[in-house]
A and B are shown apart, each in its own frame.
Chain A
């Protein structure tokens, strides 16, 4: 126990004022101790059955992507000698559970596992780029306001009016060169608009709330207000948008690469491994497109479930 400084005028303690300000807006503000907050979030997340299933699926996929290519008995670039008699490929069997493709007779499981690496990498990295750009631009627009806000939001309007799939397709073809990194950047720079709008609107609404005004009144700096008071409130909606971006970009990349405008086939993705699959459909080769597509569906479902779970877990207003 410390002694009370009886009678003396207490100094203004920024932390203390912030704490009180936060209590005033308690239903909006996150807990002070971040450890507790994450523990709380995890507790809520665990109760979300679908989110746990999603997390499980994603862990399996990531593990397969990381370890699969190493332990697999087949080498991706090792093209077996095509057997003319089975030109149409072979259906699922014990040695090739997902079957073999027509033409080059590659193992489909191998394609799925190898494709997971690049597809997941592209989905998550491009999302990260989009979220970072979107958060920066949204924060700028929402916090600075005025002319900057106007210009930035008109840019968002313009970007959202473009037929994005067309633009991404053209950009991948013209600038992508089949390079994974460039494709990630292209998907990233066309994924930030939703986040920017969201962050901006959160800034506009939160900026006016009492706890931010209280923090301003005692002279807390802008940067601190943004990072300490406003952004934590934006995490939950950003996470949900981010999960949608991952899903959209994995599907988008698969399509662009399927057309042959995306990633170079020497880096397999769930899209470019299907480039020739349509040709073999008339001879009944369903397993070739089926399994990589199933992998995409599972991933997108998993990411959406996790997004839903995180939204509930990170929302300080929801109770476990």
Chain B
């Protein structure tokens, strides 16, 4: 098992490396580059721009820039010494060993060009709302999808099964942002107006979520604060659940049907086991194996998939951060977000594989 995990981690390294290259290339190829925002500013002279470039290391050859960004190269080093950190160990090692703290490998994503904050801090701040939103949605939709999928498979071709099929088709076809807009009309529009249309907290009641003042407020009125966030969660969670149940319930259904048609189910019946033991022990246990993997593959969704929903409901998460950064050409933030989310995907895949190996006794390591 340990060997298998190690092999799997080693396999992930070239992928991670490839991701850094792709992310770096995209932003390198982007028109204008980091100095674009000064281009039309008459008060910034050519000399100022050169000085800016030099201070950010943008005058160096691209591979050097890439290596520094990655944290493999030491910005102060010369010749082959660029790979050596201040303490004489390779630069990419953790700060405690190498003394270096530049680049991605040391968690240094640079500074946002719009707000001047460290990108790492921005991502961490945005991550919490995203994890809250997508986490709730994920738990709810997977539970519902399993129930729907299993029931539809057990009662195949029944009215329920056919209704679930239609729902899945329509749910799959529905654009998330459209569903969000329509829900806002239904529940926060001029008619009902019972739920907040967006945001994570009610502005006149509480300070913005995540700020220091918010946690003070949270400390004094925790129940009120939780209820407020809860109210704001309902519509975006509902949106995510509806659009994502579709595919997953089909997946569970297919997996369950597959399991129900297996010989061992017939054996279980032949042993005289009651129907529910046959279905919920022998078939379901097998049917859930691929579902576990699928859940693992959906974990990255905690970061990326909520982008649409977050935008519609002004949820202050990673999705909104990305869209704001895209709008403002905030390169360091975008690179940070892309890299962090890609790494999350790679690790989620890894965890999914390892979990599968763990739950399926047939997998040999």
Chain A contacts to B: CB under 8 angstroms: 154-155, 157-163, 165-167, 169-171, 173-175, 247, 251, 254-255, 258-259, 261, 274, 277-278, 281-284, 286, 289-290, 292-293, 296-298, 300-301, 304
Contact = CB atoms under 8 A, between A and B. Distances in A.
Interface string B190-207: 110000010000000000
Contacts of A304: 169, 172-173
Interface string B6-29: 000000001100110011001001
A159 B190 contact: no
B15 A158 contact: yes
A245 to B, nearest CB: 13
22 contacts: A154-B18, A161-B15, A161-B342, A163-B341, A166-B304, A166-B337, A167-B26, A169-B307, A170-B322, A247-B173, A251-B175, A254-B175, A258-B177, A261-B327, A278-B312, A281-B181, A286-B182, A286-B185, A290-B182, A293-B181, A296-B175, A301-B170
Contacts of A258: 177
B178 A289 contact: yes
A163 B323 contact: no
Given A175-B30, A304-B169, A166 B341 contact: yes
Mostly helix, strand, loop or mixed at chain A's interface?
A: helix
Contacts of A161: 15, 19, 342, 345-346, 349
Contact of A278 (B181, B338, B342): B181
A284 B190 contact: yes
B326 interface: yes
B39 interface: no
B124 interface: no
A300 B173 contact: yes
B31 interface: yes
A293 B308 CA distance: 15
B255 interface: no
Contacts of B342: 161-163
Given A255-B175, A278-B181, A175 B15 contact: no
B26 A158 contact: no
Given A161-B342, A166-B338, 8 more contacts: A154-B18, A157-B18, A163-B304, A163-B341, A259-B311, A289-B185, A293-B181, A296-B175
Contact of A297 (B174, B184, B334): B174
A101 B184 CA distance: 17
A273 B306 CA distance: 22
B135 interface: no
B26 to A, nearest CB: 7
A298 B18 CA distance: 38
For A161, A173, A301, the residue with the greatest tally of chain B CB atoms inside 10 Å of its CB is A161
Interface string B89-113: 0000000000000000000000000
Contact of B22 (A159, A247, A274, A290): A159
Nearest to B175: A251
A211 B300 CA distance: 42
A259 B353 CA distance: 36
A158 B185 contact: no
B308 to A, nearest CB: 6
A127 to B, nearest CB: 16
B304 A261 contact: no
Contacts of B327: 173, 261
* Interface size classification for chain B: 35 or more
A293 B176 CA distance: 10
B194 to A, nearest CB: 14
Contacts of A162: 19, 22-23, 338, 342, 345
B216 to A, nearest CB: 32
B303 interface: yes
A297 B308 contact: no
B189 interface: yes
Nearest to A300: B173
B307 A158 contact: no
Contacts of A259: 311, 323
A155 B26 contact: no
A258 B334 CA distance: 20
Given A158-B19, A173-B327, A282-B197, A255 B172 contact: no
A185 to B, nearest CB: 14
B190 A282 contact: yes
B170 to A, nearest CB: 7
A48 B22 CA distance: 43
Contacts of A297: 170, 173-175, 178
Nearest to A247: B173
A284 B191 contact: yes
A296 B181 CA distance: 14
Nearest to A290: B182
Contacts of B22: 158-159, 162
A261 B334 CA distance: 15
B19 A163 contact: no
A170 B326 contact: yes
Contacts of A163: 300, 303-304, 338, 341-342, 345
A283 to B, nearest CB: 7
A166 B172 CA distance: 20
B241 to A, nearest CB: 17
B173 A296 contact: yes
A293 B337 contact: no
A278 B338 CA distance: 28
Most buried by B among A163, A254, A281, A289: A163
